[in-house]
Structure 1
């Protein structure tokens, strides 16, 4: 029996809220682990290694293992390498910046992706979308303001992470034209788990039980967030669910204040609001232009 369209949209929205919340908790857990001496390469390994359990369970109960077959292994390798660099930068920003600022900066990725799409994919960008890009960059500048207290190197890494995330969006957009989303998620998770394991002899160390629990929960949260984000698109269009991605910024600022005792400044609030408005409007314009890609999304994948 087919669900009513309104019911399907509500289900898609609920899944997107689950995704934003899961990613926010994952980021908070990784930041807590970083404060306990966990290196960024270790975060890569544990985040993806534990997420692999979620992905494997989903494949077994859902689309099946045939869905991971691919005719484009080189494309998956390129997409995974770009994603790995992006994830390293994203987790590095988490370690160096207050949680709210680090989260908000990564959400500049859709803005940058618009520019990269115009340059590399030759997409036509109208004046209103360019205006949205300009608004988003004003938001980035407000967050990067020295008066916010963020370490300059952390700000640079956070901005670099946003560029990395935008590159991921472009590569995913290209590969999703021919590859199943299950294959994209699975091979990326495999690649980053192996890459993280390869870095452990150089950057890994022993940790106490509490730290290992934090890392396990972060990985499971990341896996749940990834799959609920993807599943939301089965029930509702991107333009409907994208606004709920920005709940992660709200959660990041709130958790940063209540747990890490780093309240956001008014400039960070203003910058986050401008970035969110820019991203939501960009998604709306994609919908209006009839170019809303089936697997597109606003939320940074490396979250």
Structure 2
């Protein structure tokens, strides 16, 4: 049965859903960091992110009555997307083992800038001087957050966070290519199922017995990630990209708050300064995309 018609546009609902998505992804990141503190391995964190996130995805597909979401004519394309997306996700998870929530989140905001650069290099899309300038300024903001001169942040954590942001840029390009023939639900369903299968093969090696508190953290991780993906996609059904995407930066406020409440981390002035530069460059890039008529729905985030 075909998916229901696109609902009437309601920007307030779209913004509210996007704020819910940012909140869910922030709690997912906090759960990942808590999981590491409770001795959970990276493959386990990844597996339960998808295992507990699968029920919300199935409910979303059932609600939309898209019973053919599992069908695809491009299985190998989904496998490639899963390899790239899963590698990126595990790098992002690993970065949280070394970095505070605020710094990891802020560096992750550079992903759209990588996507712009890659769209020019890989997809040969025209990128003018305005957006190249925004990309350069955004990367300068990343350097401010990383504080290369005398930084006390672990180099490995910074490298993982930057690599994850670059990976998200690659995933964005991959999804854009797959999205020419595949629906969002099909892409997300295949990615989720392939990731569960791949990470499930590692559980006999990395799996451990956990106490009730740790299981609650893993459940929160998967549920927050699954619901965040649902809210993210649903927001685009009610409002344009240019309206809802700026509210993704609400995630930084949550990261700072949760980092302070749970981990006693305090974001320094350099993090706020770098975040301001990155956010400004990202918003300007979004403005240019909208002005050039490229305000189109995006697929779900890879996490």
Pick the TM interval, shorter chain.
Answer: over 0.9
- Contact in 2 for aligned 1:148/1:265 (Cα 8 Å): no
Alpha-carbon displacement from aligned partner over 1:189-212 (angstroms, at most 9, x marks no partner) = 111111111111222212111001
Please report the TM-score for the alignment, with normalisation by the length of structure 1: 0.94
Tell me the residue number matched to 1:121: 123
- Contact in 1 for aligned 2:8/2:238 (Cα 8 Å): no
What is the alpha-carbon distance in structure 1 between the residues aligned to residue 65 and residue 97 of structure 2?
Answer: 36
- Contact in 1 for aligned 2:94/2:160 (Cα 8 Å): yes
What is the alpha-carbon distance in structure 1 between the residues aligned to residue 279 and residue 65 of structure 2?
Answer: 33
Tell me the residue number matched to 1:229: 232
What is the alpha-carbon distance in structure 2 between the residues aligned to residue 284 and residue 159 of structure 1?
Answer: 24
What is the alpha-carbon distance in structure 2 between the residues aligned to residue 60 and residue 77 of structure 1?
Answer: 24
What is the alpha-carbon distance in structure 1 between the residues aligned to residue 205 and residue 142 of structure 2?
Answer: 34
Q: Structure 1 residues 240, 296: closer, same or farther in 2, change over 3 A?
A: farther
- Contact in 2 for aligned 1:148/1:267 (Cα 8 Å): no
Tell me the residue number matched to 2:209: 206
Alpha-carbon displacement from aligned partner over 1:68-99 (angstroms, at most 9, x marks no partner) = 31111111111111100000100001111101
Report the CA distance between 1:27 and its aligned residue.
Answer: 0.6
Tell me the residue number matched to 1:249: 252
Tell me the residue number matched to 2:85: 83
Q: Structure 1 residues 131, 34: closer, same or farther in 2, change over 3 A?
A: same
What is the alpha-carbon distance in structure 2 between the residues aligned to residue 96 and residue 117 of structure 1?
Answer: 30
Q: Structure 1 residues 3, 67: closer, same or farther in 2, change over 3 A?
A: closer
Report the CA distance between 1:29 and its aligned residue.
Answer: 1.0
- Contact in 2 for aligned 1:148/1:268 (Cα 8 Å): no
What is the alpha-carbon distance in structure 1 between the residues aligned to residue 295 and residue 208 of structure 2?
Answer: 44
In the alignment, is residue 301 of structure 1 matched against residue 302 of structure 2? yes
Tell me the residue number matched to 2:147: 145
User: Following superposition, which runs of at least 4 residues in structure 1 exceed 6 angstroms of deviation?
Assistant: none
What is the alpha-carbon distance in structure 2 between the residues aligned to residue 261 and residue 238 of structure 1?
Answer: 35
- Contact in 2 for aligned 1:103/1:249 (Cα 8 Å): yes
Aligned with 1:110: secondary structure?
helix
Report the CA distance between 1:65 and its aligned residue.
Answer: 2.1
Tell me the residue number matched to 2:49: 47
What is the alpha-carbon distance in structure 1 between the residues aligned to residue 176 and residue 85 of structure 2?
Answer: 13
What is the alpha-carbon distance in structure 2 between the residues aligned to residue 101 and residue 174 of structure 1?
Answer: 30
In the alignment, is residue 181 of structure 1 matched against residue 184 of structure 2? yes
Report the CA distance between 1:233 and its aligned residue.
Answer: 0.6
- Contact in 2 for aligned 1:68/1:180 (Cα 8 Å): no
Report the CA distance between 1:130 and its aligned residue.
Answer: 1.0
Stretches of structure 1 that go unaligned for 5 or more consecutive residues are: none
Report the CA distance between 1:268 and its aligned residue.
Answer: 0.7
Superposition CA RMSD, Å? 1.7
Aligned with 2:119: secondary structure?
helix
- Contact in 2 for aligned 1:26/1:221 (Cα 8 Å): yes
What is the alpha-carbon distance in structure 1 between the residues aligned to residue 68 and residue 48 of structure 2?
Answer: 26
- Contact in 1 for aligned 2:107/2:145 (Cα 8 Å): yes
Q: Structure 1 residues 4, 73: closer, same or farther in 2, change over 3 A?
A: closer
Give 1:288's match in structure 2, choosing from 281, 288, 291.
291
Aligned with 1:141: secondary structure?
helix
What is the alpha-carbon distance in structure 1 between the residues aligned to residue 109 and residue 240 of structure 2?
Answer: 19
Stretches of structure 2 that go unaligned for 5 or more consecutive residues are: 1-5
How do 1:61-100 residues align onto structure 2 when only pairs under 5 Å count? 61-100=63-102
Alpha-carbon displacement from aligned partner over 1:28-48 (angstroms, at most 9, x marks no partner) = 011111111111111100001
